[in-house]
Amino acid sequence: MAASLLGMALLGGCEPGAKKRVEVRPPDLPAAAPPPGEPPAGDRAGQASGLVVPPKTGAEYLIEKVEQAFRSGQENYKAGHMEKARREFDRAVDMLLASGYALDADPRLEELFDRIVDTVHSYELAAFREGDGFNEPAAEPAAIDEVAEITFPVDPSLKARMERQIRSLPHDLPLTVNVTVLHYVNFFQTSRGRAIVENGLRRGGRYREMILQVLREEGLPQDLIYLAQAESAFQPRALSRARAVGIWQFMNYTGREYGLRRTWWVDDRQDPEKATRAAARHLRDLYEIYEDWYLAMAAYNSGAGNVSRAIERTGHADFWELHKRNVLPRETRNYVPIILALTLIAKEAERYGIRAEPEPALRYDRVRPGRAIDLRLVAESIDVGVDALKALNPQLLRMVTPGDAEFDLRIPGGTTQRFLAEIALIPPEKWVSWRRHRVEEGEILSALARRYKITTHAIAEANGLDARAPLEVGLKLIIPAAARQQNEQGKLLRYRVRRGDSLATIAEQFDVSVGELMRWNGLRSDRLARGVRLKVYPGGKPEAVPTAPKTKKGKGTKSSATETSDNQGAKAGG
């Protein structure tokens, strides 16, 4: 019910005639914003009465009113009052757009507008995802965010022991032992810290072989694998508080620089192979700038700009000197010591009482469907669980693959021929709606029809069966499910235009064409105003299904619910 209300309230309805009149200027906003530097009449009256009230400019008064509406919208959203939340969010945006101020000319107004639009956009997408069958997988907290601030002392003898350990420990990154590093060595031996290390060592077995190979191919130190362990504990869907994603914790803009795309269907930052290749090249580029791995890692965390400015301010191109002078962001000052501590422990985990059996490396084949296909159909075709496919393809954000002809789908090793043979039995245009089902003991056709919300006639016809005959156990059936029931691709959503958006970028994100966007929204040019809400059908608008003309019931006319359902099911399935 909550998801349904959320979808109706925030997505604005799917009917063309469901447009609502937008109140451009709410009653509590003055007819015109006062000119900059001049407070509203009420504030001037307060000053005249002797109250000491700092004068507000027109922009400040506008910001106050917009913030009030925005906060009200957030409170209603959290309380589940979705229609009220929608009205307040629209009111906040409309006040800014109708104020007469040039938002780009005032950093305060521009920041406020971007913050509101981005927040509302995330709410709208959440509403859409909760209301359809293509929910994004839940994110996992990034391991780097779980490392607590250190508040306990360091064992004085630990430094000498670890310095001796380093001399006999193979490594291709410089390893430093100092008080800061030792703080984190101690942390990783606490129950909480040990769990982070163990999770990373265990899950890292899936990707270790692949990561080391990529690092070799890119000419980088093998020990950089511990950067990924520190960042995410090898969790492809790791999400940090800063919104970095994946094993290598890429921000969206940096990911784009290194070829990692993020669309409605996929997020390449969650693809372990693509992200590893991108991270290796990014780290190599940073090393070429600083010729120092500690500085390169610091720049990987906070950006080359922060590190370069710190060097310029101090004249020292040395991480520990910058650390001592406190000129780097706090997270970055901790970042390099965390990686070094984790490297020291992971290389000799048993010495620190840590035992974790690495999971086996992932083995898979690659296939190119060439068009969209439902993961459930793939799983049923090769007799594996959907979760196994999701684990092999963590970059997929939906239960359906993109329609990109170049998209590689990973399936369990050795299943390619079976997949190709099974999928050949299904018309390609039905890959996002039809299903497969293996008959189990006691199952009957009518029960399967109810389960998949189609008719017995449709299943029997698709499989060349006698609808009255019993089903053979183990028989694999084609289930010609109706697309409107099984596939939410093409479901209408409302996308609010954000800063930097263009029709081309929006079209790419949702796998549609610029022409389709213009046609759906009645646009005559490709110019977009921020805050405008566009109608989008991800993957393309589904074609209308013609309905048969109604006929009056008469003598001899079939009118039973069963017969009607059978006829409709046959058409949908065919």
451: domain CATH number is 3.10.350.10
Which secondary structure element, helix H or strand E, spans residue 451, and what is its range?
helix 445-452
Selection from 414, 417, 463 nearest residue 439 by Cα: 463
At 152, the pLDDT band (50, 70, 90 cuts) reads: low
Q: Are residues 241 and 282 in the same domain?
A: yes
Specify whether 480 is located in the same domain as 515: no
Q: In this structure, what CATH number is given to the domain that contains residue 312?
A: 1.10.530.10
Residue 6: pLDDT over 80: no
pLDDT at residue 453 in the model? 82
For the record, the structure tokens of 36 come out as: 């900059």
Structure confidence at residue 94 as a pLDDT band (50, 70, 90): confident
63 pLDDT above the threshold of 50: yes
- Same domain, residue pair 200 and 310: yes
141-156 mean pLDDT: 63
| Structure tokens, 175 | 């390893």
Residue 174 predicted with pLDDT over 80: yes
240 shares a domain with 257: yes
pTM: 0.65
- H-helix or E-strand spanning residue 238: strand 238-239
Sequence-distant (6+) residues with CB within 8 A of 561 are none
Does 570 map to a domain? no
pLDDT number for residue 17: 37
Q: How many residues does the chain have?
A: 574
Burial of 409 (0-12, 13-18, 19+ CB in 10 A): buried
Q: Which of 318, 352, 386 is the last residue of a domain?
A: 352
What is the band of 139 on the pLDDT scale with cuts at 50, 70, 90? low
- In a domain, residue 202? The reply is yes
- In the 8-state DSSP scheme, what is residue 354? -
pLDDT at 549 over 50: no
Query: What pLDDT, on a 0 to 100 scale, did the predictor assign at position 565?
Result: 32
Q: Is the pLDDT of residue 302 over 80?
A: yes
Does 509 lie in the same domain as 414?
no
Contact 134, 266 (CB under 8 A): no
Q: Per-residue pLDDT for 548 more than 80? A: no
Check if the beta carbon of residue 150 is closer than 8 Å to that of residue 187.
yes
Whether residue 573 has pLDDT greater than 80? no
End-to-end CA distance of the chain: 33
Q: How far is CA 353 from CA 65, 110, 192, 348, 356, in A?
A: 58, 53, 14, 9, 10
**Statement to judge: residues 223 and 270 lie in one domain:** yes
Which pLDDT belongs to residue 109?
A: 84
What are the structure tokens assigned to 540, written together? 């393309």
Judge if 175 and 281 occupy the same domain. Answer: yes
Q: And the tokens for 34? A: 């006062």
- Give the gyration radius of the chain's Cα atoms: 29
DSSP state of 414: T
The pLDDT tens digits for 305-357 are 999 999 999 999 999 999 999 999 999 999 999 999 999 999 989 888 888 99
Whether 472 contacts 566, CB under 8 Å: no
Confidence check: pLDDT of 218 > 60: yes
Is 444's pLDDT higher than 60?
yes
Instruction: State whether residue 347 is helix, strand or coil.
Output: helix
Within this chain, do residues 125 and 159 fall inside the same structural domain, yes or no? no
- 358 within domain boundaries: no
- Region of poorest pLDDT, from 29-38, 277-286, 307-316, 434-443: 29-38
CB contact at 8 A, 314 and 325: yes
| Least confident interval from 105-119, 264-278, 302-316 | 105-119
* Strand runs labelled E in 67-201: 140-141
Q: Which domain does 502 fall in, by range?
A: 493-536
How far apart, in Å, are the Cα atoms of 57 and each of 43, 98, 250, 429? 10, 17, 40, 60
Position 96 confidence tier, pLDDT thresholds 50, 70, 90 = confident
Main-chain dihedrals φ then ψ at residue 369, nearest 5 degrees: -60, -30
The predicted-structure confidence for 31-53, as pLDDT tens digits, reads as follows: 444 443 444 444 444 444 444 54
Domain for residue 53, yes or no?
A: yes
Beta strands per DSSP E along 299-408 = 364-367
Mean pLDDT of 364-370: 95
Q: Which of 352, 372, 389 is the last residue of a domain?
A: 352
Query: Beta partners for 496?
Result: 533
- The verdict on 105 and 162 lying in the same domain is no
pLDDT bin (cut points 50, 70, 90) of residue 403 is confident
User: Which one is predicted more confidently, 143 or 400?
Assistant: 400
Residues 38 and 8 in one domain: yes
Q: Measured between alpha carbons, how far is 170 from 18 in angstroms, rounded to an integer? A: 68
Closest by CA to 239, choosing from 253, 249, 225, is 249
CA 433 vs CA 174, 429, 451, 463: distances in Å: 54, 9, 15, 16
Average pLDDT over residues 527-540: 84
> Which pLDDT tens digit goes with each residue over 378-395?
999 999 999 999 999 999
Please, where are the H alpha helices in 98-138? Answer: 107-131
Residue 15 resides in a domain? yes
Among the listed ranges 123-127, 337-341, 551-555, 562-566, which one has the minimum average pLDDT value?
Answer: 562-566
Look at residue 511 in the predicted model and tell me its pLDDT. 72
Structural domain includes residue 553: no
Query: How many structural domains compose the chain?
Result: 4
Instruction: Examine the domain organization and report whether 340 and 475 are in the same domain.
Output: no
pLDDT of res. 566: 34
**pLDDT at res. 502:** 86
**Residue 144 in this model has a pLDDT that exceeds 50:** yes
Q: 322 and 298 in one domain?
A: yes
431, 369 Cβ separation under 8 angstroms: yes
pLDDT at 158: 76
Flag whether 543 is in a domain.
Answer: no
Instruction: Tell me if 554 is assigned to some domain.
Output: no
> Which of 352, 383, 418 marks a domain boundary?
352
**What is the structure's pLDDT at 396?**
95
